[in-house]
Structure 1
Amino acid sequence: MTTRRPFVLGLTGSIGMGKSTVAAMFAEAGVPVFDADAEVRRLQGPGGVLLPKIEAAFPGTTGAAGVDRQLLGAAVFGDDAALARLEGIVHPAVRASRAAFLEAHGADPLVVFDIPLLFETGGVTDVDAVAVVSAPADVQRARVLARPGMTPEKLAAILARQMPDADKRARADHLIDTGTSHEETRAAVRALVEKLTGPLASPPLAGA
């Protein structure tokens, strides 16, 4: 007998490209979405399971309210070794949460893994296809610099740690343009959902 599991679509895109907006559009279309950033916030929030490990590695960066994101950010900013230590704590926990999410939605034809650093962290091996959210560079820059506390220097540092948009686009199975109107982007998302939830779209798993 052959069973099926959901088709797993990895959703990614560089900062300011509109990925969160697109993820919300998938959710509106009835597709379960695993939000990696939201899961990290939960794991690092009040009572989060990662707090003891983070506190041990970066003393003084956690408290009753969870991780102090500003202090933790300052502890790892510009320090590759410190960032690697933090990622070594966070990434395995997020992968475990993602596996549980997939199991919980085993009956759905399609699920989305919303992972900002999908390519950079090797998460692409865990998905069946990748959708890259993109917009023109000037639109991206304007969006990011409009955020509170953002500076051109911070943006440059963030972009230096992300795969260039052109490379992501080249590796994408599907492109979602957010440089257009919300209506056009939403229509593109719905069309992709319909394409990926067809009768032959979900990858089979052989079983007895």
Structure 2
Amino acid sequence: MIVLGLTGSIGMGKSTTAKMFRDAGVPVHDSDETVHRLYAGKAAPLIEEAFPGTVRDGAVDRAQLAAQVLGRPEAMRKLEAIIHPLVRADADAFVASHREAKTPLVVLDIPLLFETGGRGRVDKVVVVTAPAEVQHERVLARPGMTEDKLAAILASQVPDAEKRRQADFVIDTGRGMDAARAAVARIVAVLTGDNPAG
């Protein structure tokens, strides 16, 4: 079985690309979705203890949490120390179950793959990219996003050029959905040994 790591900086189209892998029949473990689940479950009491006032009705209030950690490296490290091991355990269970089922290819969607030293957990890496102006436009269109917030997020991420340099495959989502979908199909064909024409 091949474990493909899917990553990319904020606003590069990673979630859309993950869906394309799913549509191509490849099981995908989504770190963001896992975090959402953990924030409403296992992680909530741990986060409330570390960051009082961030949990409402048993679930983490992301806006409250962001207010306490964004732009504060020490607080961010504290949060990551809580959440990363839980997400990793969830991903490990996902990989183990597919290995047992003899699934030929799975995708681990890991937003901070390079930042968290996740390269060793995967066999190959695909980086999703887009021109900087496209990235900027996409991210600033998100509710509650500001130039300052975007700058803080980008400062905490490995630069796009460096990610692309370390990637086994690169998908440029700035070229449109059809081109991205074709790139996904090519990668799946290469990694599963299927003839792209078949």
Does TM-score exceed 0.5, indicating one fold?
Answer: yes
Deviations 1:160-197 (A, max 9, x none): 01111111111111111111121111011001001001
Equivalent residue in structure 2 for 1:111, among 99, 102, 106 = 106
Equivalent residue in structure 1 for 2:162, among 164, 167, 181 = 167
Partner of 1:194: 189
> How far apart are residue 65 of structure 1 and its match?
4.5
CA distance, structure 2, for counterparts of residue 150 and residue 72 of structure 1: 15
Partner of 1:85: 78
Deviations 1:85-131 (A, max 9, x none): 11111011111000100112121100000011000011111000110
CA distance, structure 2, for counterparts of residue 197 and residue 25 of structure 1: 16
Identity of aligned residues (%): 60
Structure 1 residues 124-133 or 75-84, which shifts more? 75-84
CA distance, structure 1, for counterparts of residue 31 and residue 114 of structure 2: 14
> How far apart are residue 63 of structure 1 and its match?
2.5
Query: Secondary structure of 1:113's match?
Result: strand
CA distance, structure 2, for counterparts of residue 174 and residue 77 of structure 1: 31
CA distance, structure 2, for counterparts of residue 86 and residue 153 of structure 1: 20
Over the aligned positions, Cα root-mean-square deviation in angstroms equals: 1.1
Amino acid in structure 2 at the alignment position of 1:143 = R
Deviations 1:104-159 (A, max 9, x none): 21211000000110000111110001100011111111111112221211111111
Query: Secondary structure of 1:60's match?
Result: coil
- 2:39, 2:60 within 8 Å by CA — same for their partners in 1? yes
Partner of 2:52: 59
Using structure 2 for the length normalisation, give the TM-score: 0.94
Bigger helix share: 2
Q: Is 1:41 matched up with 2:36?
A: yes
Aligned residues: 192
Q: Is 1:69 matched up with 2:85?
A: no
Query: Secondary structure of 1:105's match?
Result: helix
CA distance, structure 1, for counterparts of residue 131 and residue 143 of structure 2: 21
Structure 1 residues 126-135 or 190-199, which shifts more? 190-199
CA distance, structure 2, for counterparts of residue 97 and residue 184 of structure 1: 32
Deviations 1:37-57 (A, max 9, x none): 110110111xx0112211111
Amino acid in structure 1 at the alignment position of 2:61 = D
Q: Is 1:141 matched up with 2:136?
A: yes
Q: Relative contact order (alpha carbons < 8 A, sep ≥ 6): 1 or 2 greater?
A: 1
Query: Secondary structure of 1:121's match?
Result: coil
Query: Secondary structure of 1:101's match?
Result: helix
- 2:129, 2:174 within 8 Å by CA — same for their partners in 1? yes
Partner of 1:204: none
